[in-house]
Amino acid sequence: MVRGREDQKLLVTWGLQTDLPPPTPKDCGDNQRDVVYTHSVCALGSPHVTGHDGPKKGAGMLRTGLRASVVTVALTASMAHANTSMNFDGFAGWQDLGTHHPAQRLEKAINGSEGTAILGGDFLLDLSGLGLGLAVDKTVSGSAQPWAGSILGGLLLDFLPLRLELLGEVGRRATDFGDLFASNGSTFLGLRPGVSVRLAFVPIRVGLTALVRWPTSNGDIGSPDYGFVGKVGFEIP
């Protein structure tokens, strides 16, 4: 009766580890506890023996499966805890400001006697501290009122409840929006350092961003213009 149970265990083990047919009595020697190898294997006395390299293959497959499971669980947990969010912001402020006596410059900008006003918006994807996005803005005062569009990239560092935004941008300026994608647009490189905070209990984020933009048309880097914008938007999640 005990040997019958061992036979059943052997057949189950054999079926899990090989595609060959199960062993038959003629494949075994006179001593049923001996192992004789033909096309299959008899291992009535030891259910752990399943072939020439059966135990090694079985143990290797088990270890490989366990490792794959551990890696899968680790990656899943990492993605579940990743700080990933999308931000949609609108902003307004001034650019073309001087760098001397910033308080006076700000007062003059607010009074409309210096710089040019801009309105715009941006989309920013936060990938666990890596920021990628797009921005577009329009100058709405002064004699020239160009559009500007840029690709954003940089670091987003959270120090609850504040977020430090260390972003750079590569963009183009043009009189008409459609010219942003044409050869007659002018190019620029910029920095957009800023700080923002997410309001409690609501997915609203407000912040302040500085703008530093260098014109780079014709391969030359010109003098930068400076500005700042205040922004407000919503964050998902």
Tens digit of each residue's pLDDT (9 = 90 or more) over 146-162: 999 999 999 999 998 89
Task: Name the residue range of residue 42's domain.
Answer: 2-80
Do both 95 and 199 map to the same domain? yes
pLDDT at 62: 60
Helix (H, G, I), strand (E, B) or coil at 196: strand
Q: Which whole number is the average pLDDT over 6-34? A: 49
Do both 150 and 188 map to the same domain? yes
Is the Cα dihedral 95, 99, 102, 108 positive or negative?
A: negative
- CB-CB contact of 47 with 10 (8 Å): yes
Report which DSSP code applies to 103: H
Domain boundary among 61, 80, 99: 80
pLDDT at 142: 81
Tens digit of each residue's pLDDT (9 = 90 or more) over 44-98: 444 444 445 555 555 666 666 667 666 555 544 444 445 789 999 999 999 887 6
Do both 107 and 172 map to the same domain? yes
Rounded to 5 degrees, φ, ψ at 80 are -65, -35
Rounded to 5 degrees, φ, ψ at 83 are -90, 85
Domain boundary among 80, 98, 130: 80
Rounded to 5 degrees, φ, ψ at 110 are -65, -35
Do both 104 and 147 map to the same domain? yes
Do both 150 and 72 map to the same domain? no
Domain boundary among 64, 80, 96: 80
CA separation for the pair 148, 192 (Å, rounded): 14
Do both 96 and 213 map to the same domain? yes
pLDDT at 33: 44
